Structure 1
Amino acid sequence: MEIELQAAPARRAMAVGVLYGFGGMALYTALADTPGIAWSAALLALGLGGLAAGETLRRATRRALRLDETGLVDSAGHVLARWEDIVAIERGSFSLKPSNGFTLRLARPGARAWKPGMWWRLGHRLGVGGVTSAGAAKAMAEAIEIRLSDRAAPIP
């Protein structure tokens, strides 16, 4: 079993475009028509931050996530969660999870990390989703649920 989760092209383009557009507008406003140096500096910092966020999102969404026999791995080969470390999956409406995604509860905490639009890790939680396709994220979540339920089932 191997399932791959990628950024949806339209969602990726929209998210990156919004951040680049925001950064560009803030830079334009800072350089064009501001009432003082403090406002110019603040808008300049905001614009550069928006452009940096857009670039970070663009780079992060080039990679895909794969669910294989190891666990959850990104396309660069970094293991995000091994099967033996996955305790539970949360995907309810009121759970803390990314848009179109799910959250894995892990046995061991990992280092804080964030790949905007794809995944984040904070302590014992790993959130997957953002600009991903809803259908592909649901299929991956269901595959994880099946594997976890098979692991929990008693042997007759």
Structure 2
Amino acid sequence: MESGILCTLTPSPARRGIAVLCLSAVAALLLWVAVTSPPNDLGWLAFTVGTGAFMLWCAWQLWAATARRIVLTREGLFDSSGACLARIDDIANVDRGVFAFKPSGGFAIVLKTPLGRDWAPGLWWRFGRRLGIGGVTPNAQGKVLAEAITLMLMEKNGTTL
């Protein structure tokens, strides 16, 4: 990642806290049920405890992932840890439509080639040729980032508004 940062998308502390709190509350509720009134069937007990543990793991992953931010440079989109999410040359278009398959308050990017699956809960996900940006991020920052990418694509393709 180069130092020429054009735009950033930083998770909202309030949304981050609420998301982690909600996942942790569901985990605590499941584990409380398993301890105070365990199901008679051993399979259901294992399911309840397993789901509660999985929700705790998800809360921890969300907390760790949202400590980072998304950075746009002339080269592409990067995670603040340095991981490349997508190169500008590989972006086909930005989809911000109401019915687009995208994260909450965010946008989706359609890539020219599939880059594999990866995920930073609450921040971004990548599945095949789609990259979703958003989740616990502020809507306004997401809109600015989407517009900046769209303008970069228009500049690269030689189109105008």
Q: TM-score when scaled to structure 1?
A: 0.94
Residue 15 of structure 1 pairs with residue 38 of structure 2: no
Measured in 2, the distance between the counterparts of 1:16 and 1:102 equals 22
Partner of 1:6: 10
How many residues align? The count is: 155
Cα distance in 1, alignment partners of residues 138 and 65 from structure 2: 15
Partner of 2:51 in structure 1? 46
The aligned residue for residue 33 of structure 1 is: 37
State how far apart, in whole Å, the 2-side matches of 1:41 and 1:28 are: 13
Contact 1:117–1:131 (8 Å) recurs in 2: yes
> Match for residue 123 of structure 1?
128
1:84 alignment partner in structure 2: 89
Change in 2 beyond 3 A, CA 1:33/1:137 = same
CA RMSD of aligned residues (A): 1.4
Question: Could you tell me which amino acid in structure 2 is paired with residue 43 of structure 1?
Answer: T
| 1:65–1:74 Cα contact (<8 Å) kept | yes
The answer (yes or no) to whether the contact 1:31–1:40 under 8 Å persists in 2 is: no
The Cα offsets for residues 53-79 of structure 1, whole Å up to 9 and x where unpaired, read as 111111111110000111101101111
Task: Tell me what 1:139 maps to.
Answer: 144
The 2-side partners of 1:35 and 1:151 are apart by 60
Structure 1's 59 and 154: CA in aligned 2 closer, same or farther, altered over 3 A? closer
State the 1:154 CA deviation: 5.6
- Rounded Cα–Cα distance in structure 2 between residues aligned with 1:87 and 1:17: 36
- Identify unmatched segments of 5+ residues in structure 1: none
Match of 1:61 in 2: 66
The structural deviation recorded for 1:43 is: 1.1
Deviates more, 1:39-48 or 1:127-136: 39-48
Equivalent residues of 1:30, 1:39 under 8 A apart: no
What is the Cα deviation at residue 35 of structure 1? 3.7
Structure 2: any 5+ residue segments left out of the alignment? none
Q: Alignment partner of 1:7: what SS?
A: coil
Runs of 4+ in 1 over 4 A off after TM superposition: none
Tell me by how many angstroms 1:34 deviates: 2.3
Identity %: 39
Measured against aligned partners, the alpha-carbon deviations of 1:11-68 in whole angstroms (never above 9, x if no partner) come to 1111000001110111111011124133322211111011011111111111100001
